[in-house]
Amino acid sequence: MQNIIEIKNLTKKFKDITAVDDITFSVKKGEIFAFLGPNGAGKTTTIKMLTTLANPTSGAILINGFDPTKQQEEARASFGIVFQDPSLDDELTAYENLNFHGMLYGVKIKDRRERIKQLLTFVELWDRRDDLVKHFSGGMKRRLEIARGFLHHPKVLFLDEPTIGLDPQTRNHIWSYLKKMNEEEGTTVFLTTHYMEEADKVSDRIAIIDHGKIVAQGTASELKLKTNTKSLEEAFLALTGIAIREEIVKSQAMTGHARVWRR
Amino acid sequence: MIAIYTLWVREVKKYFRSKSRIIGSLGQPILFLVALGFGMGPIYQKATNDSYIQFLVPGIIAMSILFLAIFSGISVIWDRQFGFLKETLVAPVPRWQIMLGRTLGGATVAVLQGIIVFAISFLAGFKLVNLASLPLAFIFMVLVALIFTALGTAIASILEDMHGFQLIMNFLVMPIFFLSGALFPLTNLPKVLKTIVMFDPLSYGVDGLRGTLGGVAQFGLATDFWVLSLVVVVLIAIGSYLFSKIQV
């Protein structure tokens, strides 16, 4: 299988907003893929559809060959996810949180024990394994969630803003964990982030979404070449800047609200 | 099935970990036992020639189970607020198993609480008439615990945040308790009140506990058992359905 994720004509409409508008792209197996976009662009909605937390209005998704709307359990077993907001149980210990996850994902006890030890050591939390998570800092919680995401040997790890709000040292460590797992176990990494320099450094390919549409795809170099800019951030601003103007013209006809901005 | 066990273990572990919560939630039943038991005792004794403590204890046990069960079920709201719910929703496990594990865990914890209150009631002067009826009393405790944990889960599945919680406690849980015959006998009730009592599932639980713990079961133990069992099945089905429809 060349593509671990295939998205074709994916659309999500809510009452009168189209959050995701007919997007098509794919993610290659084993690559680090960055899904970028301004706030409200449709990133989180897309990830929700990829991770079975929301149903598409139309279009097709394949994760590891499975359709998340029809083969939910197989799709879910294929990926791990680190949400933007913490999703740990604060009243359980680090070890218990991982054990819980392992049991839910059907990881057999021997593998589970070894894997928990391996991953906790990997994210440097092994000596805190019996501490309640409520005593962990934000950075420690994020590291724990990353360890948890890898526990069941997923094909893809989704990360929604993995380094947001973290200090540079922790951010650096997190990227090293992700790259190592990507290299050693071939786990595809699908991330969203606002930190363009990070995306520039680590990602193999990038897709940029704005107002629900994919405005550009390719490697960081390709995007910089296309927009004649020197950094991914400039390329991003060049691409999403243009898109915004077009959108206002469109919605002006539909809602009349945009006229207020023009003044 | 290991998912059910996993969720069950989580509820039980968290219960034993919060000693302050265990002791704190014993406060209300003890208060009721002491204040009502000794306060209303003399009048009740005069009116019926029976001990109010003997009458009251099954009601208080049911009360402690009711409150902890609803609270356990409703803790889904906490999980949603603090993010943990997402972790269970994205796992390759059918939602009904998640719901069942939580419900069984919450019910287990509620029954444990009921047993503790039962033990304490001996200090207040409760006398056990028939030792052999204890297993039967236990069954009624389990049924009550299951009903209200499932109900709590069902309600939490449709609430989006903790604001509705106050409403639920005051306009649903309190009436269920006070109108269940936990505190007053069901003989010679005004017709309206009698009808309400008959529609309250807790009434059958209280009645069953009363019948097995040495008192009289107004509705009859068999009726109590079958009504409660039916309500358990219905509420677990409703709870599972609503839980499976949660969107984060």
Question: A105 and B89: CB-CB below 8 Å?
Answer: no
* Residues pairing with A80 in the sheet: A157
Question: B92 and A101: CB-CB below 8 Å?
Answer: no
Place of tokens 């724990």: A144
Interface predicted TM-score (ipTM) of this complex, two decimals: 0.88
Return the residue in A87, A95, A158 with the most chain B beta carbons within 10 A, the one to mutate for interface testing. Answer: A87
Task: For residues A193 and A237, give the distance between their C-alpha atoms in angstroms, rounded to a whole number.
Answer: 14
Q: Is A81 on the interface with B (CB under 8 A)?
A: yes
Min distance B170 CA to chain A CA atoms (Å): 28
Query: Across the beta sheet with A58-63, what order do the strands follow?
Result: A17-28, A3-14, A58-63
Q: Write down the pLDDT at residue A1.
A: 66
Q: Write down the pLDDT at residue B217.
A: 84
Nearest to A87 among B14, B84, B93 (CB): B84
Chain B residues near residue A103 by CB distance under 8 angstroms? 2-3, 5-6
Question: B84 and A89: CB-CB below 8 Å?
Answer: yes
- Run of H or E including A226: helix A220-227
Secondary structure class of A256 (helix, strand, coil): coil
Q: Write down the pLDDT at residue B83.
A: 87
Residues of chain B with pLDDT > 90: what percent?
Answer: 60
Q: Beta-carbon neighbour count of residue B81 at 10 Å?
A: 12
Q: pLDDT tens digits for B64-122?
A: 999 999 999 888 988 988 889 999 999 999 999 999 999 999 999 999 999 999 999 99
Task: For residues A151 and A75, give the distance between their C-alpha atoms in angstroms, rounded to a whole number.
Answer: 16
Task: For residues B233 and A242, give the distance between their C-alpha atoms in angstroms, rounded to a whole number.
Answer: 58
How far CA B125 is from CA of A109, B134, B228, in Å, comes to 49, 18, 29
Q: Write down the pLDDT at residue B15.
A: 93
Question: A103 and B84: CB-CB below 8 Å?
Answer: no
A positions 152-171 inside 8 Å of B (CB): none
Angle at A215 between CA A214 and CA A217, to 5 degrees: 80
Question: B89 and A53: CB-CB below 8 Å?
Answer: yes
* Residues pairing with A33 in the sheet: A190, A205
Q: Is A77 on the interface with B (CB under 8 A)?
A: yes
A79-82 and A58-63 as β-strands: parallel, antiparallel, unpaired?
unpaired
Chain B residues near residue A87 by CB distance under 8 angstroms? 83-87
Query: The domain that contains A194 carries what CATH number?
Result: 3.40.50.300
**SS3 letters for chain B?**
CHHHHHHHHHHHHHHHHCHHHHHHHHHHHHHHHHHHHHHHHHHHHHHHCCCHHHHHHHHHHHHHHHHHHHHHHHCHHHHHHCCHHHHHHCCCCCHHHHHHHHHHHHHHHHHHHHHHHHHHHHHHCCCCCCHHHHHHHHHHHHHHHHHHHHHHHHHHHHCCCCHHHHHHHHHHHHHHHHCCCCCCCCCCCCHHHHHHHHHCHHHHHHHHHHHHCCCCCCCCHHHHHHHHHHHHHHHHHHHHHHHHCCCC
Domain coordinates in residue numbering, chain B: 2-244
* Residue B10 backbone dihedrals phi, psi, to 5 degrees: -60, -45
Question: B91 and A54: CB-CB below 8 Å?
Answer: no
Are the CB atoms for B136 and B51 separated by under 8 Å?
no
Nearest to A100 among B6, B247, B248 (CB): B6
Chain A residues near residue B94 by CB distance under 8 angstroms? 73
Q: Is A100 on the interface with B (CB under 8 A)?
A: yes
pLDDT under 50 in chain B at which residues? none
Min distance B18 CA to chain A CA atoms (Å): 9
Nearest to B90 among A74, A76, A86 (CB): A76
Number of domains into which chain A is organized:
1
Q: Write down the pLDDT at residue B66.
A: 95
Nearest to B6 among A52, A74, A104 (CB): A104
Q: Please provide the distance, in angstroms rounded to a whole number, between the alpha carbons at the two ends of chain A.
A: 53
The size of chain B, in residues, is 248
Q: Is B10 on the interface with A (CB under 8 A)?
A: yes
Per residue of chain A (263 residues), give pLDDT as tens: 689 999 999 999 988 889 999 999 999 999 999 999 888 888 888 999 999 988 999 999 999 999 999 999 999 999 999 998 899 999 999 999 999 999 999 999 999 999 999 999 999 999 999 999 999 999 999 999 999 999 999 999 999 989 988 999 999 999 999 999 999 999 999 999 888 899 999 999 999 998 899 999 999 999 999 888 999 988 888 888 754 433 322 333 333 333 333 33
Q: Write down the pLDDT at residue B181.
A: 87
Q: Write down the pLDDT at residue A245.
A: 37
Angle at B149 between CA B182 and CA B123, to 5 degrees: 45
Q: Write down the pLDDT at residue A181.
A: 93
Domain containing A232 equals 3-262
